[in-house]
Structure 1
Amino acid sequence: MSALCRLVHRGLLGGRSPCRLFPARQAVCGMAPAVRTASSSSAVNLTYDVFDGKGESTPLVFLHGLFGSKSNFHSIAKSLVQRTGRKSKSLNCPLSSQVLTVDARNHGNSPHNPVLTYEAMSNDLKHLLSQLHIEKCVLIGHSMGGKTAMTTALSQASLVERLVVVDISPAQSPTRTNFRFYIQAMQEMKISTDIPRSTARRMAEDQLRSLVKEHSVRQFLLTNLVEQNGHYSWRVNLEAIAAHLEEIMSFPSFNTAYEGPTLFLGGASSAYISSDDYPEIQRLFPCADIQYIPDASHWIHADKPLDFISSISSFLQS
């Protein structure tokens, strides 16, 4: 692979039909911790789902973005379990891989913690991989998860066979983001107790509408609305996110490089990977390709799932 970045604008990729040797089984869920909080200095026990294709390929590990959860990649994971992997030495078709989707700290069902830095999230991931006896994996991270994946590759390259960074770069994220407004709207939400979930969702969306204009974003944020004993709240740790938002928008400083195969996959309608970022991408990831999927926003995997899957499948088989 050339050390120079190839800039490719691609649509739906073609290719041979994959051999479906091992149908995907129901996801196996990692046990949620008994306590939702953890000390600020130690790694937390992340929750995860495993889609097991029984293949011998390197596991794929998906890391979601800010306000997301492991369920964001469930449909993608199911497709990739059957679709791709490394080629068998005895069979001329790709074998299925084990795929993990992981909840970051302060997200999904993982524990809450006052610290929300990329160093901490990377340490959580390393802890999980050690627990699962995974010595090497393919990391695929979107947005905040992409920065966690980059941090892991740059700090412990031996863990990462290949790296896919989805619509984010190792640079300051666009300053004109609306995340601060999202947090404010979520913090100000008030929901009546002991009402049906459908009613609670409508009430929550009505309150979010003044600060969160996009319907799709409101629906995404509402995936975090949970009910416990008749009371509705957000499962994400809004206090930690608000306190560390500037750090989340930034990226740690590294003087090392990750020299493994790397794909930066951007949405053509998104501003999160710009030409201004290319020198820093090449400095830290000298074997990186940069590709864009047409008509895709920041949430590429939701906008163009087939293109997303095809791009990753092609990269894994290159």
Structure 2
Amino acid sequence: MTTKDRNALTLPHSYDRAALARFELFLFAGVATVLITRAYLAATGYPQIGGGALHIAHVLWGGLLMAVAIVATAITEGSRTRDLATLVGGIGFGLFIDEVGKFVTADVDYFYQPAIAIMYVVFVLFYLAAREVVIRRGMNDRHRLAIGARALSDLALGQLDEIQYNHALRVLDGVEDRSLTDLVDSIKAGLHSQTPPTGGIESKITRGRNAFFHRAEELLRHRVVRRLVLTLFVLQALLAIVQVIYALVSENVVEADDVSDLVVQISTVATGVLVVLGVWFLFRGPYLRALRLLRASLIVSLLVTQVYLFTQDQFGALFGFAVSLFMLATLRIAIRSEEAAAALPQ
């Protein structure tokens, strides 16, 4: 495989990776905030903040942090502010959604058992919807120009690091509309006018993240590694199915109506069928269809099966949730590599 072919696999710019990375930062900040908040409150005996008849609920602090994030992006410039606002907004959203139990129950019950499952559904739907929007939107020539212009703005503000600088130049190289050539050349000339700093914590974090995904893609190009990871995925999916079946027939199952039981049973069967078909095509081909079927089974599991497990064992199911997210990211990398390889000239 030539260097050009390898670049086609490892450096696709069909969508805005930076936008997806910012959303993932928002989401993970929110999830981490929920876990840290609940662990802290449990360890301290759920203290009352305010004293007397007052109790300042942390949903208010969450709203305040989200407002700070919105105002910051409205009145300041630069990617550094946007990244910081994303982090602050994610923390604020975590504090906000953590108190959902109070707002869906008549007795304002923070300990409402399905609260974790509700939060889980919100986070998963957020992730799937944002990822779909970013990837389906893709990047046209105007979008590429906007990314280059933002990089030029960051350079003027002293906020552009080496990683972002090189990324902007590669994105601008993808502009195909000849009528925009003069504008592209002007932006490139502006970017070449100064040398961006090579240090800084942001640059180190970005370089580490890029190196991680590059190594992951390199590893997943080996069929043996992919089959090992996918075997672990299949075992994890089957374990989730067994857990649901056990919970449904167990006497300790939380009371639920017949409709919800039916939905869980249907989703369990659907997940099992998709996993079986995925394994079949994994060994018989086509390989890309197998990956897509396994991804579909994982999405069904995330949206329904894992939610049911959360209602049974709220924090114990977090491990399965983390594994599922890891597997979803792994499948995304594998599918992207297969699609890129299929698009190369034979």
The structure with the greater share of residues assigned to helix is 2
Q: Rg larger in 1 or in 2?
A: 2
Q: TM-score, normalised by structure 2?
A: 0.23
Name the structure with the higher strand share.
1
Task: Answer 1 or 2: higher relative contact order, Cα 8 Å, separation at least 6.
Answer: 1
TM-score (norm 1): 0.24
